[in-house]
Structure 1
Amino acid sequence: MVRTSAGKLKTTKFVFVLVGLLGVFLIIDLLWASSSSNSSSSYSYWAIQNSNFVVPPPLVNATLDAPIKEKAKKDKKDVVRILSATFADLPAPQLKWEKMVTAPVPRLDGAAIQIKNLLYVFAGYGTIDYVHSHVDIYNFTDNTWGGRFDMPKEMAHSHLGMVTDGRYIYIVNGQYGPQCRGPTSHTFILDTETKQWQSMPPLPVPRYAPATQLWRGRLHVMGGSKENRHTPALEHWSIAVKDGKALEKEWRSEIPIPRGGPHRACVVFNDNLYVIGGQEGDFMAKPGSPIFKCSRRNEVVYGDVYMLDDDMKWKELPPMPKPDSHIEFAWAIVNNSIVIVGGTTEKHPETKKMTLVGEILQFNFDTLKWSVVGKLPYRVKTTLVGFWDGMLYFTSGQRDKGPDDPAPRKVIGEMWRTKLML
């Protein structure tokens, strides 16, 4: 009996010792795991802060975490994709803008020519169903509009080609009527001192918004859109003119422009001819529509810059900071540069809507470099621009829907100005 009791006692002690050792081992294991976990967390934080790697989120249970997954889907829809500079506003200096006297009527796709302190503003859409057929004059020196007079009945109402020699204004082609009606090949000369009109030989075929300039005694007309309003034209014609008269009875064919299309700036500086920006394609009349209702077609906006040299060959120059169109009268020469105000760029990749431009772009003819020199009060296309006494002016066009929406909305007649030092 004694031996049996002693044996039981030894067995019981052994069990207690074994349990105690197990407990000590578990405590040591727990302490090590905690230390390892803290070290691992510290390393993960350091790795995130000091590397380009992205740590993926933990996997979630398909059943228990279904609400979390649904929330993740919703958050993904709310994410705004970062767009390229083509569709985003470019960084630019903030300018101080002063609102001047509003134009007598709002205009879209109108035309403008500056002669000294006067800005002659022609035609344009009032609405898509109504077009203007008169000229308004803005006087930069006394900030007034006045001197309204009518255009010839046969003259186009939008998409005009236009240039001046300092007294006479030469007008070619354009669209006759509202919506997306057809073009006209009629050409005219306006004597701004007498307000008298006379006609010139018509172009071989009509065009919409061709690039137009006076260069070396000849009136040059290039590109634009063909008779269907959409197909880009490459043809280039010229005719000799002097003192408000055509010296030839027919237009002469010249070297075609490298890329066709309407709505581009065209300028002569230091005896060189430049063509800037533009687009391929445009709205077309809806087939069978009795009012020639406009129907959207695919358009490609570009920022190409070309110069015609002494050998009558086109030379490609550095492109614009972003593609830009609807700028045929949205420019001014300031010192040794051209400044271009607003316009349109490529369609927004998500909304598929037209995207307006809200910057002032500068091209220096000496350095052949582009700069962004200022922001406008809002984004705007087909604006009409003048420069007088150190001040840059713009009026009319179609502005954006607001600071966060670059799509076009309201046709305006507002006049703004800002001091521009280049």
Structure 2
Amino acid sequence: MRLGKAPSSKHKTTKFLFVCVSILGAFLIVDLLWASSSSSSSSSAYRSIASNWPRQGSQTFVVPKGTGKQDKKDGVHERVLSATFADLPGPQLKWEKMAPAPVPRLDGAAIQIKDLLYVFAGYGTINDVHSHVDIYNFMDNTWGGRFDMPKEMAHSHLGMVTDGRYIYVVTGQYGPQCRGPTAHTFVLDTETKQWRDMPPLPVPRYAPATQLWRGRLHVMGGSKENRHTPALEHWSIAVKDGKALEKEWQTEIPIPRGGPHRACVVVNDRLYVIGGQEGDFMAKPGSPIFKCSRRNEVVYDDVYMLDDDMKWKVLPPMPKPDSHIEFAWVIVNNSIVIVGGTTDKHPVTKKMTLVGEILKFQLDTQKWSVVGKLPYRVKTTLVGFWNGMLYFTSGQRDKGPYDPTPRKVIGEMWRTKLSL
């Protein structure tokens, strides 16, 4: 009896195992097909996001993740980034290293008057700020003539402009780290080295766009008192021969987009505001030393011009977003030349990306171009132009050719022949 049932029991067991294996196989096939579809969808979504990186008309470049040698040794894959995050193509220039500045500077200011470059204030380190002026003489390529600033004057993020003798100094950050701004305004007579007070700005600002235009000192934008929020206000005051002709600042048409670290240029009786950013580092809440704390920043390529009707006009944008260029410009042969700066943060690492190009805006054609490369990427550099030579000094440079993130504050001075 038992022997007769054994084959039937064995047949049922085999059939049961076959069904289980079949069901398991079906699940595996479905799971594989789903994963393949999901991967394809994710890849498609990634490509969709990546395709939004390049700006209209920009080129795409392959940027190594590390140094070239390290890539070959470790087999690190290369990464494709848009021109916004990579160096734009441009001619290589021959640079000559000159005598360095007496001290390194970050977020300082500079004004050129004839053959002299006056270099003001700035951070030495995040915990140390300068409160003096150094002078570079283009004739003999030497530094000298150091003198002190007023004790109440800001140490960084200054608004500054000259009429050829008097230098007007407006608002800025007072102290190291991310301390608060001051509304104090001063004027320096460069012939006598004497300082005078001016009517204070209605409210303090960080790094506002500042220029002299049609007999008035204009101050626009910058960051508000918390160092991060963009300001739109625009004020002006009549000045002449280093003196204010009015007791109070006058409200003017607001700037279309607020923020600090812009180039502000007057040429051919037009006022231009170029580049800049929204947002900046802020003081960490409750920090007794106002320790800097990172916040979101948006760098832009906007170019605005104030015309005869006192209305802002939008001009062709820069080749790439650029900020930290407030004293990094000169006028050469009816062109505005801008040196270095910072662009959008890296899309993967989210680190600040420095700019290593020299950009030119041709005023008659209103076209941008890249006219050269710097010896390294640098932000908040201080620029002058003398006898056909372009000079830059100070700022914060990159970590190397393959790493555009900020490294050390410098005091180096470089020059190159620039023919436009």
Which among 328, 333, 336 is matched to residue 331 of structure 2? 333
Q: Which amino acid aligns with 1:359?
A: E
Are 1:376 and 2:374 an aligned pair? yes
Q: Are 2:319 and 1:321 equivalent residues in the alignment?
A: yes
1:333-359 CA-partner distances (Å, limit 9, x unpaired): 001001000000000011110000000
The residue number in structure 1 matching 2:410 is 412
Deviations 1:95-120 (A, max 9, x none): 00000000000000000000000000
How far is 1:81 from its partner?
2.4
Which residue matches 1:135?
133
* 1:175 matched residue in structure 2: 173
Length-normalised TM-score, structure 1: 0.82
Query: 1:263 aligns to what SS in structure 2?
Result: coil
Equivalent-residue separation in structure 2 for 1:80 and 1:222 (angstroms):
42
**Residue matched to 2:300:** 302
Deviations 1:374-416, CA, capped at 9 Å, x for gaps: 0000000000000000000000000000010000011000000
Corresponding residue of 2:212:
214
For structure 2, which runs of at least 5 residues remain unmatched after alignment?
1-74
Query: Paired residue for 1:354?
Result: 352
1:399 match: 397
TM-score (norm 2): 0.82
Indicate the residue corresponding to 1:190 in structure 2. 188
The corresponding residue for 2:239 is 241
Q: Which amino acid aligns with 1:118?
A: L
Count of aligned pairs:
348
1:135-178 per-position Cα deviation (integer Å, ceiling 9, x unaligned)? 00000010100000000000000000000000000000000000
Equivalent in 100, 111, 114 of residue 112 of structure 2 = 114
Aligned partner of 1:269 in structure 2 is 267
**How far apart, CA to CA, are the structure 1 residues paired with 2:196 and 2:333?**
33
- Tell me the CA shift for residue 78 of structure 1: 3.7
Equivalent position of 1:278 in the other structure: 276
Aligned to 1:90: 88
Aligned to 1:289: 287
Instruction: Say what the alpha-carbon RMSD is for the aligned residues.
Output: 1.2
Counterpart CA distance in 2 for 1:377 and 1:78 is 26
- The 3-state SS of whatever aligns with 2:288 is coil
Partner-residue secondary structure (3-state), 1:329: coil
Q: Which residue of 2 aligns with 1:55?
A: none
Aligned residue among 364, 367, 381 for 1:366: 364
Provide the C-alpha distance between the structure 2 equivalents of 1:175 and 1:409, rounded to a whole number of angstroms: 22
Of 153, 158, 161 in structure 1, the residue corresponding to residue 159 of structure 2 is 161
In our comparison, the structure showing a higher alpha carbon Rg is 1
CA distance in 2, matches of 1:86, 1:354: 12
| C-alpha deviation, 1:241, in angstroms | 0.1
Instruction: Tell me the alpha carbon deviations over residues 61-95 of structure 1, each in whole angstroms, 9 at most, x when there is no partner.
Output: xxxxxxxxxxxxxxxx9433210000001001000
* Secondary structure in structure 2 of the residue aligned to 1:83: strand
Identity %: 90
AA aligned to 1:106 is: P
Q: Report matched runs for 1:22-37 at 5 Å.
A: none
Q: Quick one: which amino acid aligns to residue 126 of structure 1? A: G
Partners in 1 of 2:349 and 2:298 — Cα distance?
16
CA distance in 2, matches of 1:263, 1:335: 24
> Matches of 1:376 and 1:365 in 2, distance apart?
23
* Offset from partner CA, 1:320-339 (integer Å, 9 cap, x none): 00000000000000010010
Name the residue aligned to 2:78: 80
Distance 2:189 2:232 in 1: 30
Rounded Cα–Cα distance in structure 1 between residues aligned with 2:136 and 2:76:
47
CA distance in 2, matches of 1:144, 1:383: 18
> Post-superposition shift, 1:182?
0.1
* Residue segments in structure 1 that go unaligned for 5+ positions in a row: 1-76
Counterpart Cα distance in 1 of 2:328 and 2:128: 22
Which aligned runs of 4 or more in structure 1 are off by greater than 2 angstroms? Answer: 77-81
Aligned to 1:389: 387
The partner residue of 1:144 within 131, 142, 145 is 142
CA distance in 2, matches of 1:80, 1:318: 32
Partner residue in 1 for 2:202: 204
Amino acid at match of 1:97: W
Instruction: Determine the C-alpha separation between the residues in 2 that align with 1:126 and 1:81.
Output: 35
